[in-house]
Amino acid sequence: DPDGKYEQGVLQASNDYPCPKDGADFVYGTAGFRMKADKLTSVAMTVGILAGLRSRKLHGQTIGVMITASHNPAEDNGVKIVDPQGEMLEQEWEKYATYIANAKDPQEAQNAYMWMIKEVRIDQKKPASVIFARDTRPSGEELVRALKTGLDATGVTSIDYGILTTPQLHYLVKATNTKDTSHPYGEVSEEGYYKKLATAFATAMDNIKPAGAVTVDCANGVGAPKLKEFLKHLPADSINIRVVNDNISDPSVLNNDCGADHVKTQQRAPAGFDGKAYDRWASFDGDADRIVYYFQAEGSIFRLLDGDRIATLAANFLGELVQKSGLADKITMTVVQTAYANGSSTRYIEQSLKLKCECTSTGVKHLHHVAARSDIGVYFEANGHGTVLFSPQTLKRIHTHQPESPAQLEALTTLRALTDLINQTVGDALSDFLLVETILAHKEYTVREWLATYTDMPNKLGKQRVANRADFVTVPDSAERKLARPEGLQERIDEIVAKYKDGRCFVRASGTEDVVRIYGEAGEVFDCENMVREVGGEIERRFGP
């Protein structure tokens, strides 16, 4: 920037989108910045500046910006940054994002910009390229304007992809950056995304009878139009699917009494549920990066098939395919979970599937990194956010392996198709949905057989408002299972938990809502409820707002 054009631009952009006067304390959290949409415009502008810097630092590789508040209510919104291979922003840079976002006035913003150039050693003559998209929230339009202001001010070339699901944007980032390499990820368009999934699904389902009807609740969010669009790319009889909660014209219904987060946390079917006993249902969340399944058993008993269930189903099936392809001695697999994973799922993975299981902190970025260390890494949060990663070496093995029998060829063909069907950049409700549908069809499983693989421990996820959630700090390397602060609270939780048979409970501050979360499981439903209530009561009494 020899003429100081960008520095001037930052000053101007920050003038146009000033930081709120009440000194909002912005933090780049679990899923980027997230809060009430009207507080977020200045932040969106600074994210434009930061995304441009990130691209310049990486020699002009394309960076993504997604505007969404996912499972949160319609009046919230959020901004997150996607790195060149479609992964979450490198952790080191989160603090830079936080730093620039909190600049109080234009001068501070300009200083922060100049400090970054020095600190990260950015050559301003390098090109910068950013692509962005938003979900269906009405506030997205204004945030896009703010974001674009930050991009334009600092000379960043950008493409607006309009309304997309979060995983579609991740796909486009990776597709853009691999376009001219020996391994292009896919065509660089929304259409290319559908084509890639549709082709892989058709191959994986070749000669296989679909597993019967399925209904998908789209949380009245962006997943609805995108799922419908995708279905146009499938042959008519390949899947019997009904799409419900697809009203994107009325923002007030987004994620309201419906969607994956509602179903998982409330452990109850969404609004509009009309399933008969054992009908198969799935729910996406507001930006279609999470999915959970469920059904009603006889007597209207609600049964959830959450992220743990998808992880175990996928690990089991992929393991079988690897074995049948004749690759068992060459490829290993790990399952990555968080502390929210049901204890029974962990035992099932280790004892029945005999696989290695690792536990990380909440947030896809944490799971993704650990999963990326294995040949095949299956990672899912219990809330339905997850995917499967194949290492480059494993992909090569799978694609070059010479089958020695028709049976090996058949398994290998399915395995190869799954490497394309699975969105390896991030958890993707649509891709995960197709993966589950493929597995159920191959295994001829109904929801009943799927559920029967193991029995969940009774569990409950509660939340509690507190005066300051930043006071709740977990012990490093404990995967958030233990609190270091507030002092003495962990000891008190341990005392409470000790009263309940097979009890387990942990507390952590949410990174996406202004609450602390309380997760518990115990041998009996009644005990579990009481334990979580007791811990919640303790927190409310001592640390409540």
Any idea what DSSP says for residue 379?
Answer: E
Site map (CB under 6 A) of ligand G16, residues 139-158, x = contact: --------------------
- Under rule CB under 6 A, residue 285 binds ligand G16: yes
**Tokens linked to 162:** 């309009």
Element (H, E) at 14: helix 5-16
- Under rule CB under 6 A, residue 31 binds ligand G16: yes
From the list 219-227, 251-259, 361-369, 400-408, the region that binds ligand G16 by CB under 6 A is: 361-369
Structure-token match 């690897």, residue found: 322
Q: How would you classify the pairing of strands 214-217 and 291-297?
A: unpaired
Size of the site for ligand G16 (CB under 6 A): 18
From the list 116-124, 298-306, 322-330, 508-516, the region that binds ligand G16 by CB under 6 A is: 508-516
**Tokens linked to 194:** 């559908």
Instruction: Estimate to the nearest angstrom the gap between the alpha carbon of 455 and the chain centroid.
Output: 25
- Under rule CB under 6 A, residue 167 binds ligand G16: no
Q: What span, in angstroms and rounded, lies between the C-alpha atoms of 133 and 452?
A: 40
From the list 152-160, 310-318, 360-368, 499-507, the region that binds ligand G16 by CB under 6 A is: 360-368
464 strand-pairing partners: 516
Residues 6 or more apart whose Cβ sits within 8 Å of residue 47: 32, 33, 65, 79, 81, 97, 101, 147, 150
If one counts every other C-beta atom within 10 angstroms of the C-beta of residue 181, the result is 8
- Under rule CB under 6 A, residue 362 binds ligand G16: yes
Q: Which is nearer to ligand G16, 325 or 512 (CB)?
A: 512
- Under rule CB under 6 A, residue 520 binds ligand G16: no
From the list 106-114, 221-229, 511-519, 522-530, the region that binds ligand G16 by CB under 6 A is: 511-519
Q: What span, in angstroms and rounded, lies between the C-alpha atoms of 475 and 330?
A: 37
Is the separation of the CB atoms in 374 and 318 below 8 Å? Answer: no
Structure-token match 């969010």, residue found: 221
Among 511, 514, 524, 529, which residue sits at the site for ligand G16 (rule: CB under 6 A)?
A: 511
- Under rule CB under 6 A, residue 110 binds ligand G16: no
Q: Which is nearer to ligand G16, 30 or 423 (CB)?
A: 30
If one counts every other C-beta atom within 10 angstroms of the C-beta of residue 359, the result is 19
Instruction: Estimate to the nearest angstrom the gap between the alpha carbon of 98 and the chain centroid.
Output: 21
- Under rule CB under 6 A, residue 456 binds ligand G16: no
- Under rule CB under 6 A, residue 83 binds ligand G16: no
**Tokens linked to 366:** 């944490």
Q: Which is nearer to ligand G16, 186 or 286 (CB)?
A: 286
- Under rule CB under 6 A, residue 517 binds ligand G16: yes
Among 54, 56, 226, 290, which residue sits at the site for ligand G16 (rule: CB under 6 A)?
A: 290
Q: Which is nearer to ligand G16, 272 or 511 (CB)?
A: 511
Structure-token match 């295994």, residue found: 443
Among 291, 364, 388, 531, which residue sits at the site for ligand G16 (rule: CB under 6 A)?
A: 364
Site map (CB under 6 A) of ligand G16, residues 460-499, x = contact: ----------------------------------------
Q: How far is the CB of 315 from ligand G16 (least distance, A)?
A: 19
Is the separation of the CB atoms in 130 and 58 below 8 Å? Answer: no
Instruction: Estimate to the nearest angstrom the gap between the alpha carbon of 498 and the chain centroid.
Output: 33
Q: How far is the CB of 289 from ligand G16 (least distance, A)?
A: 6
Q: Which is nearer to ligand G16, 56 or 366 (CB)?
A: 366
Q: Which is nearer to ligand G16, 275 or 511 (CB)?
A: 511
- Under rule CB under 6 A, residue 381 binds ligand G16: yes
Q: Which is nearer to ligand G16, 28 or 500 (CB)?
A: 28
347 backbone dihedrals φ, ψ, rounded to 5°: -60, -40
Q: Which is nearer to ligand G16, 52 or 307 (CB)?
A: 307
- Under rule CB under 6 A, residue 264 binds ligand G16: no
Element (H, E) at 44: helix 41-57
Number of Cα atoms under 13 Å in the Cβ half of residue 126: 18
- Under rule CB under 6 A, residue 361 binds ligand G16: no
Q: What span, in angstroms and rounded, lies between the C-alpha atoms of 239 and 516?
A: 40
Strands (E), 228-372: 241-244, 280-284, 291-297, 301-305, 333-338, 356-360
70 catalytic per annotation:
yes
Catalytic member of 70, 129, 139, 325: 70
From the list 6-14, 380-388, 402-410, 439-447, the region that binds ligand G16 by CB under 6 A is: 380-388
Comparing C-alpha atoms, which of 250, 341, 262 is closest to residue 70? 262
Q: Which is nearer to ligand G16, 292 or 357 (CB)?
A: 292
Q: What span, in angstroms and rounded, lies between the C-alpha atoms of 516 and 503?
A: 19
- Catalytically active residues are 70
Which residues would be at the binding site for ligand G16 (CB under 6 A)?
A: 30-31, 70-71, 285, 289-290, 362-364, 381, 383, 385, 510-513, 517
